[in-house]
Structure 1
Amino acid sequence: MRVQVPAWRSDDGAVTAEFAVVVPAVVLVLAMGLSAVQVGLTQLRATDAAADAARSLGRGDDAGTAAGRVARVLPGATMTSGVEGDLVCVRVDAVGGSGLAGVVPVSASSCAMGGGR
C-alpha cells in the first residue's frame, strides 16, 4: 500500500530553488576570479611602464617623454620620478582595472642608472 504525501511536503521545485541559490554564487566567484586576473595583468603592465620610464629618464630623456611611455603602456596611470644617488627611480600608480578590480590600487617602481651610463 502506497502512502500519499501531502502536496505541501512534496519535493517538487527543490532543484529549481537550489539552482537559484547556486547560480549567483557561481557568477560572483567567476567575477572575482576574472577581476583578480585583471589586477595581475595591470600590475605587470605597471611594472613594464615603470621600467620603460626609468630607462628613458636614465638615458637623459625629459619627463614628458617618460610620461608618454607610461601613458602608452598603461593609460590613466600617474608617474612620479626621483633621483637616488646614481639611480633614476620611477613609481607608477594606477587602478587595477574596471568593475570589481577598479577598487584595487596598483603601483610599481623601477630604477635605472642615470646620466646615460
Structure 2
Amino acid sequence: MLGNLGGLGGSGIGGTDAGTVTAEFAVVLPAVMVVSLLLFSSARAVIVNMNCQEAARAAARELVVAGESGDADPAGVVARIAGPGATVSTATGGGQVTVTTRCPLMPGPLGVLPMALEGRAVGMLHE
C-alpha cells in the first residue's frame, strides 16, 4: 500500500533517474584513477628504495669481506640487486667503508616522486 506514494512510480519527485548513474560514474572515475595511480607510484617508490638500500648493504658487506685483497666488485653487486641503472660510490677512511647507491625511479604523476633514490651503508673494516 505504501509502495507507490502519490502515483509517482518510485522514480523520484518529478522525473526519471536514468542518466544520473552515468553522470556520477563520469565524475568519480577520474578521481579514482588519479588516486590509484598515486598509490601504485608510491608503492613503486617504496620497492625501489628498499632494493637500493639492500644493494648498498650488500656492496658494503662485499667490500668488508674482500678487505684489502681488492677482489670486491661493489658495482656488480649493486647492478644485480638494484638493476643496471643503479650507480655506486664508495669512500674509505677511519677504518670504515661507506657505500652510497643511487637508483633511478620513473617520475610519478605530477612530479611528486623523486627522480632517483639513494641508499647508504657503512661497514667496519677488519684490521
Match of 2:64 in 1: 58
- Structure 2 gaps of 5+ residues are 1-5, 9-13
Q: Which residue of 1 aligns with 2:92?
A: 83
Identity of aligned residues (%): 32
Whose radius of gyration is greater, 1 or 2?
2
Question: Which position in structure 2 is the counterpart of 1:71?
Answer: 79
User: What is the SS of the residue equivalent to 2:42?
Assistant: helix
Q: Which amino acid aligns with 2:123?
A: A
Residue number in structure 2 paired with 1:15 = 21
TM-score by length of 2: 0.73
Number of equivalences? 112
Q: TM-score, normalised by structure 1?
A: 0.79
2:120 to 109, 113, 116: 109
The alignment's C-alpha RMSD in Å is 2.8
Taking structure 1 as reference, are residues 107 and 66 closer, same or farther at Cα in structure 2, changes over 3 Å only?
same
**CA-CA distance at 1:110 after TM superposition:** 0.2
Matches within 5 A, 1:23-62: 23-59=29-65, 60=67, 62=70
Runs of 4+ that moved beyond 6 A: none
